[in-house]
Amino acid sequence: MDKNIYDDLENRIYLTRAARICAAERCKSWSHFLNVLTIWYSISIIVFSILNMINTTKPEYISVSLLAFSVIAFGVPVISNKLNYEERFKKHKHCYIILYNLYLELAYKQNKTPQVLNDIQKRYIELLQQYENHNNFDYIKSIWNNKQQKIKLCSKIKFVLYSGFVIVIKGILLVLPIVIPCIFEIIMSALKII
């Protein structure tokens, strides 16, 4: 049997499994973040409702902030439900467990005949067809995590930019309940001056 064909299949299974692990982690992270975000905006609605009740001057920014938080608190679960991160996490996890079993079967098979290799490759391809694919950034992250694999500079830059973008978006969504009232108060003050 050709050692290169065996090594190639073993490497493909290993990298696909690593990418699916990254995909599962990404889905679980987004699911958790969106749940926390829903709770955060719900708490913001409660706090601003209480402020609205106890504040006798009833600044307009409180009403506008309540509306903004309500829209976001409504939209986040809808988006979360549509993207179905929790279910996708479970499927990616199931896929990488099966891939690991395939990897072990290939690595520890005593009789590595072309027929055995073809059988494992066929099962690998069937498995890929049954599950959602990971995205390119999951693949890049899996290579990044594997110190033995070389990664192109362009891919490194894309991954760092994507990771930074995700952090910025999450940060913005988390600070909005603090920033929105301040922005509306500044706008309302500026409009009163004019």
- End-to-end Cα distance, the chain: 83
* Averaged confidence pLDDT in the chain: 88
pLDDT at 146: 81
* Least confident span in 60-64, 75-79, 183-187: 60-64
pLDDT at 179: 87
Measured CA to CA, the distance from residue 174 to residue 39 in angstroms comes to: 11
Write out pLDDT tens, residues 112-167.
788 888 999 999 999 999 999 999 999 999 988 887 778 888 888 999 999 999 99
Measured CA angle at 177 (ends 40, 34), to 5 deg: 35
Sign of CA dihedral 137, 138, 141, 143: negative
Domain ranges in the chain? 3-193
